[in-house]
Amino acid sequence: MVRAPCCDKAEVKRGPWTAEEDGKLKEFIEKHGPGNWRYLPKKAGLKRCGKSCRLRWTNYLRPDIKRGKFSDDEERLIIHLHSVLGNKWSMIATNLPGRTDNEIKNYWNTHIRKKLLMMGIDLVTHQQRTDLDILSNLPSLLTAVNGLNLGNITNPLESALRLQADVAHLARMNLIKNLVQAISLDPLSTNVDALNSVLGCNALQAGFVSNLCQPNFSNSGIYNFNTFNQESDISYEICCLASDGTDNSLFNISQVPSLVAASPEEMAQPAVSPNKYSNLSSLSEPSETLNLTDLVDEGFSWKDILE
DNA sequence: AAGTACTTCAACCGCGCGAGC
DNA sequence: GGCTCGCGCGGTTGAAGTACT
């Protein structure tokens, strides 16, 4: 049995609504209520499909619709609700007064989705991605950086290799960030093993974990993550903002294996004043400084990283 | 200034579900 | 239980706007 079409497509108008049509629909619904959407267009004098009228009303004309930019609170709420409900946009919309499911869905797809991908967060599980198999993830990561200005790179292979290196670098930083935060909450967890594996050393033996769990550090939750480029190797330093406001180096490690540094010519330029890192005389000046809290709270763009 | 590429979001489409007969 | 109908949902499309070259 074939479902009867909701309307005769040859008879109905499609595409953008005119102000006149909006006026007719609004006036009719305010006077009579929506009633049966199938018969509403005829009664209201509209050459539109009932479905189209319902959509126009619920997504645009309804008087309680809040338009304009989503606030930070709304964005956080959407992310939280999505982690619980998944793509149940209508359910999510019921928790955001004045926002429609369509609007939230669009906002997710155009803004939040990209932001989470850039942060290395899985869109389904909302967990940090722990896989560093960059080549297998390249398609989604390429989507995430779609439109990114990579400068005057004329060689496509060079461009792809740089992008791959940048992605690998960022993925590693995000992973370490999450592990550091998890270990500060639970120093006995298996996250220490995971960190050892990512850093290629024993963080426990190196004193990192005991440093991290000192009371005046562990309560701040603010970590800076610095990388240093020396020849072809990258060194890492993890600092913590202590309760007295000082920036303390908790841990640093050189000879981190395997991954290629991003954009070598840019890495050569120090991003911050070298004075701040005077306690690291054995290392080159930091080539890149990221406040991990900023990454989480304010989002970041690939341009921030690459520039 | 013009052409092109990219982004945004309103609108559409097809499907599934539940109510009523 | 099976069928029809209306509604609502999630995915997709494409026009319009904006940014870039």
Q: Is residue A20 part of a domain?
A: yes
As a whole number of angstroms, the distance between CA A161 and CA A240 comes to: 33
Where is average pLDDT lowest: A22-26, A41-45, A76-80, A270-274?
A270-274
Q: Which of A138, A155, A172 is the last residue of a domain?
A: A138
Rounded distance in angstroms from the CA atom of residue A17 to the C1' atom of nucleotide C16 = 14
Q: Please tell me whether any atom of strand C lies within 7 Å of the Cβ of A5.
A: no
Same domain, A47 and A90: no
pLDDT band with cut points at 50, 70 and 90 for residue A65: confident
pLDDT in tens, A8-21: 656 678 888 888 88
Considering only residues 64-93 of protein chain A, which place a Cβ less than 7 A from any atom of strand C? 87-91
Q: Which of A83, A103, A138 is the last residue of a domain?
A: A138
Same domain, A35 and A96: no
Instruction: For residues A43 and A2, state if they share a domain.
Output: yes
Q: Is residue A106 part of a domain?
A: yes
CATH number at residue A130: 1.10.10.60
Are A218 and A168 contacting, i.e. CB atoms less than 8 angstroms apart? no
How many domains in chain A? 2
Query: Across residues A255-263, what is the average pLDDT?
Result: 35
In a domain, A118, yes or no: yes
Q: Say yes or no: Cβ of A16 under 7 A from any atom of strand C.
A: yes
Look at residue A231 and tell me whether its pLDDT is greater than 60.
no
Band the pLDDT of A80: cuts 50, 70, 90: confident
Is A145 among the domain residues? no
Structure-model confidence comparison of residues A306 and A109, the more confident one: A109
A250 domain residue, yes or no: no
pLDDT at A227 (0 to 100): 55
Range of the domain at A45: 1-63
List the Cα angle A213/A214/A216 in 5-degree steps: 120
Residue A289 φ then ψ, to 5° = -130, 130
Query: From the CA of A304, how many Å to the C1' of C21?
Result: 22
Which chain C positions have some atom within 7 A of a protein CB? 3-12, 15-16, 20-21
* More confident site: A301 or A85: A85
DSSP string, A182-239: HHHH-TTSTHHHHHHHHHTS-TTTTTHHHHHTSHHHHTT--EEEEEEEETTEEEEEEE
Edge-to-edge, what's the strand order for the sheet holding A233-241?
A: A247-256, A233-241, A223-230, A286-291
Per the domain annotation, does A24 fall within a domain? yes
> Residue A154: is its pLDDT beyond 60?
no
Whole-angstrom distance, CA of residue A150 vs CA of residue A157: 13
Does residue A201 lie in a domain region? no
| CB count in 10 Å sphere of residue A124 | 9
Residue A293: pLDDT band by 50, 70, 90 thresholds? very low
One domain for residues A1 and A23: yes
b/e map A43-82, b = 16+ CB within 10 Å: ebebebbbebbbbbbeebbeeeeeeeebeeebbebbeebb
Q: Please indicate, yes or no, if residue A45 is contained in any of the structural domains.
A: yes
- Do A57 and A80 lie in a common domain? no
Last residue of a domain, one of A107, A138, A169: A138
Give A197 or A221, the one with higher predicted confidence: A197
| Highest mean pLDDT of the ranges A127-141, A215-229, A234-248 | A234-248
pLDDT at A245: 55
- Distance from the Cα of residue A267 to its chain's centroid: 24
Q: What percent of chain A has pLDDT over 70?
A: 35
Most confident of A42-51, A160-169, A257-266, A298-307: A42-51
A113 touches strand C (CB under 7 A): no
Average pLDDT, chain A: 62
Statement: residue A97 has pLDDT above 80: yes
Residue-level pLDDT at A306: 30
In terms of domains, do A105 and A128 share one? yes
Integer angstrom CA distances of residue A176 from A124, A165, A181, A184, A223: 21, 17, 9, 12, 11
pLDDT at A137 over 70: no
In this structure, the answer to whether residues A102 and A52 fall within a common structural domain is: no
Number of residues assigned to chain A: 307
Residue nearest to nucleotide C20 (CA to C1'): A149
